[in-house]
Structure 1
Amino acid sequence: MDTAEDLAREADEEFDENSDFVTFDMAGERYAFPMQRVQEIIRMPAVVKVPLGPPSLEGLANLRGRVLPVVSLRTCCTMEQTEHDETTRVIVVDGGVPLGFVVDRVSSVISIDPQQVEPAESVQSTVNSDVLVGVIKSGEGEMTTVLDVDRLIGSQFTRLASQKAGGRDNSAVARVSEESDADADLDDTLELVSFAVEGQEYALPIDQVQEIVQAPESVSHVPNAGSRVLGVIDLRGRLLPVVSMRRVFGLPVTPLEPQNRIVVVSIDGGVVGVVMDTVREVLRVPHQLVAPLPSVVAGEGRKTEVESVCRLEDGKRLVSVLSVNRMFDSPEVRNEIADYRQEDERDMVDERSDAADDGRGDEELFVVFRLDDEEYAVDVDAVQEIIRVPESLIRVPKSYDFVEGLVNLRGTVLPVVDLRTRLGLPRTERDERQRIVVLIIGGVRTGFIVDSVAEVARVGRNVLEPAPELSAEQARVVSRVANLPEQQRMLLLVQVDQLLAAGQADQVTELCVTVPDEVLVGV
């Protein structure tokens, strides 16, 4: 906690450096921001509401092609809310990223003498002194309270404050690492992606995994190719050789199914997709629970692919940690992958040029749906199907509030989640426009009720940008935005694998396993 001396010194430094201030009114009192922190002042724009954000967030606005978080300064200062009117303005400040504070009215720009300043702690104000720098006194007895931009941001948006202090990495893996910083010291944990093959659990270090995609119905085979590579798939306009983990382990290869996942890893000379039976979860394992593979079982051949073993749940759950380098250590395997890629590129080039590929190239395909008046989107590859909401669902007692129930989808149990409730939005009455978007999360089909499905949109990668990370959960679930100012639209891109946390996904999986078959009869 800062002392009075600290506050006074901070105020002196602030005012010595900044003699110009933008003043504005809120709730009948006058406040100010240092002029050098103000980028511009705009009228209240149209905003897109963002779920799971802090209470002060009014939404995201488009500011000449930039995504601008817009924040209620009244809420930040615990003042009563009021309706916006013609005098309402948004002061855009530099907070590491542009951030707009909504104020009642902008007054003027003033220049002051440092002698006019008193420490904020020495005066009474309706605003908590933690976010004040000082108070400017005029000759007429009026007072203008100067607010600390950085403290305001830090009090509401700790993630923005940390980005300003330490920079920003927008990759998916970096976000996972940033989240784990809040829970544990990364220096003392090993981050893994776990998966299953023939009922056994394995894992890869998360820094060796580029991405995880759903396995397609089939892969393209090349004549006379070796035995280790299943084939090749098109991954957003590039050819990806695909290897079966079952074949690597010497197990029988089974047909591709919806729960299969392809883990994309890097090796010398390119990337390779490895088909897993299913991907389970992201693990953060303390190093003391990780032990090297015992020398008695480490030897030549397949066993060398396992470099360590994690002992979880008091030793009842053992996870074998694999090494990508060891998996593809054989020159024969590397040559086979390289030959396969070259052979496939030669054989498929005419077909790819004639068949107007899937049109992705520099674009991505999304299924767009609506909740309230906002548009959300998920990658089209993550969507299994879209179905109508049935008249009745099987209710499940003692489950999460957002679990609506179960439906019989062609003989299989489909858990259904109310996406509004999951994202902190109010429930609504069922209507004919609502649909269930069926996704696969953790190897389990899960349905999400949305207000309506709008379209399949083709979006250029040049308009995709990271969503402002305004809260931990929002940053996980809404990872990117598609800013389309020409269409006056902004799509909130949902990270499918983050819709359910690990514990929530486990309970949904348990629902599918434990419900008796006879319960589904007639539904």
Structure 2
Amino acid sequence: MAEASDRFLVVALDAEETRVALPAQRVRALAPVPALTRVPGAPAALAGLAGRRGAALPVLDLARLLAPAARPAPPGRMVLAEAGEPVGLLVAGVVGLTAEPGGAAILDVSDLVAGLLARRVAGSAASPALGGRAGTAEPGPRPDVGLMALTVAGRSYALPLDAVDTVTRLPEPVAPNPANGADLGTMPWRGRALPLLCLSARLGLGASPGRRVAVLGGIGLVAEGVGPVLRVRPEAIDPVPRALRRGGPATGFVRLDDGTLVCLLSPDALAPAGAQDPESSPAPAAPVVAGAEPMVVIDLAGRAYGLPAGAVRGVQRAPEALTRVPGAPHTLAGMLAMRGGALPVIDLRRCLGLPPGGEAGGRRLVTVEAGGVRAGLLVDGAARLVRPTSGAIRPVADARDDGVTRVAELPEGLLGLIEPAALLGRAVSAGRAPA
């Protein structure tokens, strides 16, 4: 019997069954083609990244790895191989394991992949957009990383929350500039013209601008959806392999709790040349002051309120049903079964003395955490982010016990700010919400 080192896995690359052979000692497993997360700006051979055992697995189209100009064949299987680091190889089909590959060309997987993928070693640099070093010992646990979720051409992306100045709506439909498909012109913004960039065109996904605008670095990124705010552990963010960056907009990949991967974008790489040049606009926007506190704007009974983004753990559609708690105060709408336990859900309209809301189908559930307490807040909507400067925030003259302790002066008026610690702390002191 031939030893494993003398055997080969023969695979077909296309519908014409062009065959190549992979040394069996390099093959770890065969698997169905997984869900893939696209890497903007990556070589054509990189089909995407897949979540595997808590890490991002590069998945390559083997036919395009051998011939970048080749048309991608519908993949039938994925070969999990070892090439200095684990990689997935998409093939049209698997012919079989044999000691004699016949006329199939024998591929050296390591040499083939070495020019495309950089090896990851313990302690390799983490995403430059987030700072720090992976694997570097630090005193105590590192705080969660804040991200702003984006929907672009039906796909999920994210930006570092600290880079986003505010989130707003596109005032009117705009069309891409024929000379530059990503250029959407400008919109009035705080006394100046804000350049607009079609994010789907910038990422090579076609012209699908959407109506939401994330303002950062002197430009507006237009997408189908912006939000919610995500909170993830630093170790859940993997950097893009150095050899794949090539100046592209992807700076890392975020592993969410449900196992999906979200591409993390670099704000610096997205901005077109000259977009941040102060000479490009006669009236530059007010700079973001160090210590400025981002706020998630929520809607309640036609009014707007703000929640500190640092306390927001997620935003989702309000559940259709909650478990009622006999004898609970009227502000507690019920309990919701969540991973890790039951989440108390507070009707924020009732807390603020506002009229009852409509049907739950159109409402949102904002999960907040403060003072060791986590709870859900029922609101009418939550889809904007603002970043008032520190000097624009002041305490209210007649602070109430409903959690509204400060107001922020914004160009569109005053925004009441809700302090989650005060709101949830009151519930805990009454023994109504579990920690």
TM-score, scaled to structure 2: 0.44
Structure with the higher fraction of residues in helix conformation:
1
TM-score, scaled to structure 1: 0.38
Could you say which structure has the larger radius of gyration?
Answer: 1
